[in-house]
Amino acid sequence: MDRYAVFGHPVRHSKSPRIHAAFAEQTGQALTYEAIEAPLDGFEATLRAFIAAGGRGGNVTVPFKEQAFALADSCDALAAQAQAVNTLRVEPDGHLAGFNTDGIGLLRDLAQNLHVELRGRRVLLIGAGGAAAGVIGPLLGAGVAELVIANRTAPRAQALATRFAGHGPIHAAALNAPGEGFDVVLNATAAGLTGQAPAVPVSVFGPRAVACDLVYGPAAAPFLALARQAGVTTCHDGLGMLVEQAAEAFWLWRGIRPATAPVIAALRGG
Ligand code: ATR
């Protein structure tokens, strides 16, 4: 059995083992996938031990994505742009290849599951941490008309806007006045983890806006409640994105693309 794992801290509540078990069953692939909680100061040692024991690859979640980027021997273009890696693959010669499938996951979820067209749309991205960095390149690649990035700590948003300036129409704006009437508003902050919504005015939501939180479950609730209060009817958490980024990782490891819809439905079902 080929071994895979998700590394994070905390990682106990990760749905990734369930998702990859479902993909493996669906596609007849012989693999195991576990959740490994690495100590905050021990990601590299934990990863190396896993590889020494035969691990073939893994996913990396908060707070280790930047470290995974630094540890990878090579990276794909999206990981290089984001300076963060969420998928690692151990090549037959031991080379550690890094990828970032978060942005692809978000785009697939928006396009295939929500039927949201990004081309020509005005998009507000709230947050400027690793989660935000991972989706900017793909959003710009999708042909958005404008991507505004707003963050509580304004210089971080400005730094990301500067880093991606050559890739499309991106600019930074203040969190309390990022502009009005966006078509798509994405929450990539960690505010929901402490029960808060980011402090954006409700005027950010356009008349037919789509609101999407990049996290799933209760952590998405405060932002989506804010959107609903503003009259937004299309509100979505990050569960679909999670399953879609997992499917991309599965494809990178196994060369087979699993069907995502039944897995999303099963997870939503409880
Ligand atoms: P991640 O990798 O999950 O993005 P991160 O790099 O720690 O984690 O970034 C967390 C993001 O959530 C940041 O944009 C952070 O804003 P700051 O840069 O000002 O810290 C944002 N964030 C966290 N709590 C927030 C809150 N209560 N309101 C608004 N933004 C918040």
- The per-residue pLDDT for 107 is 97
pLDDT, mean of residues 118-132: 96
Q: Strands 87-90 and 31-37, how do they pair? A: unpaired
pLDDT, tens digit, 9 for 90 and up, residues 156-165: 999 999 999 9
Residue 163: which H helix or E strand, with range? helix 154-163
Cα of 258 vs centre of ligand 1, distance in Å, is: 32
- The distance from CA 40 to its chain's CA centroid, rounded to whole angstroms, is 20
Which tokens in the block code for residue 109? 């979820």
Question: What sign results for the dihedral spanned by CA atoms 99, 187, 214, 240?
Answer: negative
Return the axis-axis angle of helices 16-27 and 239-254, rounded to nearest 10°: 50
Average pLDDT, the chain: 97
- The per-residue pLDDT for 119 is 98
Residue closest via CA to ligand 1's atom 25 equals 191
- The per-residue pLDDT for 270 is 65
For residue 4, is pLDDT > 80? Answer: yes
Annotated active-site positions, please? 65
For residue 5, is pLDDT > 90? Answer: yes
E runs forming strands in 140-251: 146-151, 170-174, 182-187, 205-213, 234-236
Q: What is the pTM of this model?
A: 0.95
How far is the C-alpha of 29 from the C-alpha of 27, rounded, in Å? 6
pLDDT, mean of residues 115-119: 96
How far is the C-alpha of 26 from the C-alpha of 22, rounded, in Å? 6
For residue 7, is pLDDT > 80? Answer: yes
Residue closest via CA to ligand 1's atom 14 equals 127
pLDDT, mean of residues 12-28: 97
Rounded to 10 degrees, the C-alpha dihedral 13/17/23/27 comes to -170
Residue 151 DSSP label: E
Nearest to 168 by CA among 81, 73, 257: 81
pLDDT, tens digit, 9 for 90 and up, residues 38-80: 999 999 999 999 999 999 999 999 999 999 999 999 999 999 9
pLDDT, mean of residues 16-24: 98
How far is the C-alpha of 60 from the C-alpha of 83, rounded, in Å? 13
pLDDT, tens digit, 9 for 90 and up, residues 163-211: 999 999 999 999 999 999 999 999 999 999 999 999 999 999 999 999 9
pLDDT, mean of residues 233-250: 97
Q: Taking the CB of residue 244, how many other CB atoms lie within 10 A of it?
A: 26
Top mutation candidate among 60, 66, 86, 152 for ligand 1, by most atoms within 8 Å of CB: 152
Q: What share of the chain is helix, strand, coil (3-state, %, to 5)?
A: 45, 25, 35
